[in-house]
């Protein structure tokens, strides 16, 4: 079965964005981009919430073609255009969208159907609201939490509405030179 893998940048105190959506504290650099590329190489589908999808869709389809595009822009843009996109939304329609599936309900059935198909891993980037629904239903197989060396104090929490205690297995803790620690957990 394909694994659904959750990638998220978080502050040390578990926030994914500041109280006004601030994300300028997130540290990303070549080292992190190159590392994430080794993960996207093993994935052929991306899952997003609607808000994150719209952000992605507004940038990645053409990011690799822009003058001055970085190595990461070119690589991730190519990946984005190639992979199947899965969007969780109750308001969006997939009409006219290429290689894109919209899931509006019956999350467990729909996600499991996709996971049971032939293919490589499915990655969730960001999308805190969508991830929380999937987490709550136990559909996430692996977590990569990129813990930034900062206490935000307040903001949008990463983990919300999880009812049951969930035990995970630590697979790896990876340190980046910029002070970010990537914690890799798998479902027990």
- The 3-state DSSP class for residue 28 equals coil
Selected binder of another protein within 2, 3, 25, 57 (CB under 8 A) = 25
Selected binder of another protein within 19, 58, 61, 153 (CB under 8 A) = 153
4-11 β-sheet, strand order: 100-103, 84-88, 43-49, 121-125, 4-11, 142-148, 181-187
Residue 166 sits in the site that holds another protein (CB under 8 A):
yes
Residue 169 sits in the site that holds another protein (CB under 8 A):
yes
Task: Number of residues interacting with another protein: please give it, by CB under 8 A.
Answer: 32
Question: In angstroms, what is the minimal distance from the CB of 94 to another protein?
Answer: 32
Which range in 39-47, 54-62, 113-121, 166-174 contacts another protein by CB under 8 A? Answer: 166-174
For residues 134 and 107, the answer to whether their CB atoms sit within 8 Å is yes
Residue 13 sits in the site that holds another protein (CB under 8 A):
yes
Residue 98 sits in the site that holds another protein (CB under 8 A):
no
Residue 23 sits in the site that holds another protein (CB under 8 A):
no
Site residues for another protein, 109-148, by CB under 8 A, read 135, 145, 147
Question: In angstroms, what is the minimal distance from the CB of 152 to another protein?
Answer: 6
Nearest-angstrom CA–CA distance, 172 and 103: 31
Question: In angstroms, what is the minimal distance from the CB of 19 to another protein?
Answer: 11
Nearest-angstrom CA–CA distance, 18 and 25: 9
Structure-token match 């930034």, residue found:
148
DSSP state of 77: H
Rounded to a whole number, what is the largest CA-CA distance in the chain?
A: 48
Nearest-angstrom CA–CA distance, 60 and 113: 27
Residue 162 sits in the site that holds another protein (CB under 8 A):
yes
63 Cβ partners below 8 Å, 6+ apart?
Answer: 69, 73, 74, 76, 77
- Sites of contact with another protein (CB under 8 A): 12-14, 25, 135, 145, 147, 149-154, 158-159, 162-170, 172-173, 175, 179-181, 183, 185
């Amino acid at each position: 079965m394909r694994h659904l893998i959750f990638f998220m940048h978080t502050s040390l105190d578990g926030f994914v964005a500041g109280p006004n959506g601030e994300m300028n504290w997130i540290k990303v650099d070549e080292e992190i981009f190159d590392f994430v590329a080794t993960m996207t190489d093993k994935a052929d589908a991306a899952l997003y919430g609607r808000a994150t999808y719209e952000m992605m869709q507004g940038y990645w389809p053409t990011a690799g073609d822009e003058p001055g595009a970085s190595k990461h822009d070119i690589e991730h843009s190519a990946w984005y255009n190639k992979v199947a996109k899965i969007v969780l939304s109750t308001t969006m329609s997939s009409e006219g969208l290429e290689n894109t599936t919209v899931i509006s309900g019956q999350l467990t059935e729909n996600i499991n159907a996709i996971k049971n198909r032939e293919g490589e891993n499915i990655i969730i980037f960001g999308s805190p609201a969508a991830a929380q629904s999937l987490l709550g239903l136990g559909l996430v197989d692996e977590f990569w939490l990129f813990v930034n060396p900062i206490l935000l104090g307040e903001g949008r929490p990463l983990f919300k509405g999880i009812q049951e205690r969930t035990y995970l297995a630590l697979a790896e803790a990876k340190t980046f030179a910029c002070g970010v620690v990537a914690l890799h957990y798998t479902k027990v």
